[in-house]
Amino acid sequence: MTTATAPLPPRARLVEHPALPGGYAVPDFDAELPPREGDRVIQFREALREAMSEEMRRDPRVFLMGEEVAEYNGAYKVSQGMLDEFGPKRIIDTPISENGFAGLGIAAAMYGLRPIIEFMSWSFSLVAADQILNNAPKMLYMSGGQWGCPVVFRGNNGAGGQLGSTHSWCVEGLYANVPGMKIAIPSNPYDAKGLLKTAILDPDPVFFLESERMLGDKAHVPEEEYYIPFGRARLAREGDACTLVSFGRPVNFCLEAAEALASDGVECDVLDMRTVRPLDVESVVRSLRRTNRVVVVDQSWPFGGVASEVIAQIIEKAFDWLDAPPARVNTDDLPTPYAKNMEAAYLPNPEKIAAAVKRTLR
Amino acid sequence: MSQTSAKTPRAHTKGDRPSDALPDKTLLKWLHDMQLIREFETRTMQAYQQAKIGGFCHIYSGQEACAVGTIAAVEHDDPVILAYRDHGHVLARGMDPKVCMAEMFGRQAGCAKGKGGSMHMFDKPNWLFGGHGIVGAQTPLGAGLAFAARYEWEVLETGKKKVCLCYLGDGAIDQGAFHEALNLASLFGLPVIYVIENNGYSMGTAIHRHTANHDRLTMRGESYGIKSVEIDGFDVLNVYDQFRPLAEECRDLQRPAFVDLKTYRYMGHSMSDPQKYRTKEEVDEWKERDSIAALASHLMRSKDDGGRACLNEDEWKEMQRSIREVVKEAVDFAESAPAPDTEAELYSDVFINPLPQSSPIRDYIHGEKNPLL
């Protein structure tokens, strides 16, 4: 195992752990985040690239591996230019061999490196399921705390591009069932940078779920380094009529729905969970105590999914505060269709969300 | 008979074999370690039959020369990763038999504090990256350890050239993961040796029934441009003599290798195997070539007779007696060692950096702690 270390990020502290020679850095999340309204507007994909590049410049243990990440400059141009900056020993093209390179990344992490393993799509992670579900999240426990696994798996997640059933997976519904890993799902470029930087520093396996449909989204993203904590939801909009809970791309649908509802005089809280493992139910309950109504929006399937878990925990923790049954808006419980109109009908959208809110208000 | 003896010629002639340069005490240590594994496994079977060991348990008896001969050929800080038939390797690597037995008994003093069990032996001080329970799943990990070791040497410039040993059985060569691992290892130039302990059976399925081209397994490695050799794994001197130069070559060139290490297991696939797929005669035929008896005989034979003349019958009996004692102590230790404390251990080691609200169960377990109930 390597004992190589790296300089700490600004204001971070070092925590020792027997499974990780050299320890791990914990950012100062209480430090004030830079203002979001900067003068620079960049795309979601550029925010991801900036997060990786900043961490790679500081820590030589970090490398990026995946299909088309190097010479092709990224299948979705997330890693554009990174080969030029970091060279082929750290930006590494792989064959189409997810089970193989996912396992490679896991063992490299056990050894003490900090791999970022890119899945072109999380749909393809299914062929690596044994490695990412059996090995990454269980290694620390199975070894009695001897071997850690500080790996980040990241890539596109979710439907929306007419890719049909096999390429449209929202894996959080499946993977969130497994203990031992963290799952982050950013909804905007600012969060993408801050959450990915936190993921790379985190000493546990992190599944980082991006969205092909959001890679071109633009927003103000500070040039400074900043980190967003896992397990703290962001209140994206305030209201007292109903709480909307979501994560990832559908947060944007919730904001659209809330905007439309506001014109009818219905003001909603919109909570962007940012991570589903950990899951900040405390923030949901805090909001519920004001609104007494909740709609959970989840772009994975409904049966035994993240929305189900959110609602189960709401029932456990805030049953008495509910004035209406909790509602959920998921993708429909069927394989993803190809035809544009059918795919649109299958996915959560602002209209479905607004209708669900109105039902809880009846 | 399904598994035939390896007919590979010795790689060297007498006198210039790598093992010829080793002192007597090294070979005596090998004999000790092989006998320790044999005795340990005998006691393991007893404890399992007495229901003191749970789960699945895979016995290594018969294959001792594989673990001892290959592990002797590398450095102590070269990473090693294993399949689930892992007791022999961890003992050969230097794990205390007490700690190994305690793990199988599910004790706090076990190598993984009772969280791994027979199939998952991890030992950081001995550079053991675990026994792995899913067939073939350790093979991409072996590539990753070699990748990391090479990265440490080449990119971080803090390490040295290493070689990783990744063990698997002949059953695992049929897994897709292994083929992906071979391709990556060759493509990226990863110093990993895939040691296929070919005992002729994938659980109860004989090799000619479970893999195509079963008599030329090395073709698998060769097809990926990987140096591939067949070694008689029933002769520990031969294992070392052929494996040592191969390991050094992989280390120097930072290249992978594929070894079809022909061996045989005396016991069933696991403790619950009635072994109806093979005959007693087949097992006996292999036992006649027993690797431990052969090494003991070599060490006892006169030098004129090609032996070492460094051991006599009484010393061998004394070694066996003292090993019996050590293993008995290991069983006694495991038996009397405390079980893990549920409150302390059940919930620890899930995360290095545990965060609030990671799990619904801790705060509201079965409703018990819910203030609303």
User: What is the chain B residue with the closest CA to A315?
Assistant: B372
CB pair distance less than 8 Å for A317 and B156: no
Among A193, A186, A164, which residue's Cα sits nearest to residue A48?
A: A193
What is the rounded CA–CA span in Å between residue B26 and residue A268? 76
pLDDT in tens, B151-171: 999 999 999 999 999 999 999
For residue B272, the model assigns a pLDDT of 86
| Interface size between A and B, measured as CB pairs under 8 A | 199
CB pair distance less than 8 Å for A144 and B112: yes
A220 is known as an active-site residue: no
Q: What is the mean pLDDT of residues A20-43?
A: 86
Give the least confident one: A24-33, A258-267, A288-297, B39-48.
A24-33
First vs last C-alpha separation in chain A: 60
CB pair distance less than 8 Å for A281 and B349: no
pLDDT in tens, B232-256: 999 999 999 999 999 999 999 999 9
- Gap from B372 CA to chain A (nearest CA, Å): 7
For residue A77, the model assigns a pLDDT of 97
For residue B6, the model assigns a pLDDT of 47
pLDDT in tens, A200-255: 999 999 999 999 999 999 999 999 999 999 999 999 999 999 999 999 999 999 99
User: What is the chain A residue with the closest CA to B355?
Assistant: A278
A167 is known as an active-site residue: yes
Decide if the complex's ipTM is over 0.90. Answer: yes
What is the rounded CA–CA span in Å between residue B6 and residue B19? 20
* CB-CB contact of A209 with A157 (8 Å): yes
Strand A114-121 to A62-66 pairing: parallel
Convert A35-100 into a string of H (helix), E (strand) and C (coil).
Answer: CCCCCCEEEHHHHHHHHHHHHHHHCCCEEEEECCCCCCCCCCCCCCCHHHHHCCCCEEECCCCHHH
For residue B364, the model assigns a pLDDT of 67
Mind giving me the DSSP string for A166-231?
Answer: TT---THHHHTTSTT-EEE---SHHHHHHHHHHHHH-SS-EEEEE-GGGTT-EEE--SS-----TT
List C-alpha distances in Å: A159 to A184, A277, A280, A298, B335: 17, 21, 25, 12, 55
Instruction: Using a pLDDT cut of 70, give the percent of chain B over it.
Output: 94
User: What is the chain A residue with the closest CA to B114?
Assistant: A144
Catalytic residue among A55, A67, A98, A225: A98
Contacts of B356 in chain A (CB under 8 A): 231, 278
Q: CA angle, corner B290, sides to B286 and B291, nearest 5?
A: 130
Q: What is the CA radius of gyration of chain B?
A: 22
Name the DSSP class of A132: I
Contacts of B254 in chain A (CB under 8 A): none
B228, pLDDT greater than 90: yes
Q: Which domains does chain B have, with CATH numbers?
A: 18-367 (3.40.50.970)
pLDDT in tens, B325-362: 999 999 999 999 999 999 899 999 999 999 999 888 76
CB pair distance less than 8 Å for B349 and A317: no
What is the rounded CA–CA span in Å between residue A96 and residue A147? 28
* Residues belonging to chain B: 373
Catalytic residue among A68, A167, A256, A259: A167
For residue B7, the model assigns a pLDDT of 47
Which positions ≥6 away from A224 have C-beta within 8 Å? A34
A147, pLDDT greater than 60: yes
- Restricting to B residues 351-370, those with a Cβ less than 8 Å away from any Cβ of A are 351-353, 355-360, 364, 367, 370
The position carrying tokens 């003599």 is B241
What is the rounded CA–CA span in Å between residue B104 and residue A52? 42
Q: Which domains does chain A have, with CATH numbers?
A: 38-220 (3.40.50.970), 234-361 (3.40.50.920)
pLDDT in tens, B112-151: 999 999 999 999 999 999 999 999 999 999 999 999 999 9
